[in-house]
Amino acid sequence: MNAIQKYNQETNKEINQMITTASHIFTFINTSPHDGVYLQVQKSQLRFQIEQYPEAFDIRRFELRPCLIGGVVSQALYIGEYA
């Protein structure tokens, strides 16, 4: 295993820990050159993509933070340009 593969493996382990902690996961989708929206995705979908393309995920684009959904505060994982 080379250094890049090891880094990807360690980084993806951290991302998977954030996925486990989060109650909800939102990813940012560009809807125009200067705007976008967050869409909710399933944990299983994200884990599958990480497994298939481990080099494609940058941990700097992931942020675990509180969110208010249905009057309940929980942890959400935000992914994308503005995370």
pLDDT higher than threshold 90 for residue 4: no
Confidence of residue 29 (pLDDT cuts 50, 70, 90): very high
Q: What is the 3-state secondary structure (H, E, C) of the chain?
A: CCHHHHHHHHHHHHHHHHHHHCCEEEEEEEEECCEEEEEECCHHHHHHHHHHCHHHCCHHHEEEEEEEECCEEEEEEEECCCC
Over range 3-13, report the average pLDDT: 84
User: pTM of the prediction?
Assistant: 0.84
Q: What is the pLDDT of residues 32-81, one digit of tens each?
A: 988 999 999 999 999 999 999 988 899 999 999 999 988 999 999 999 87
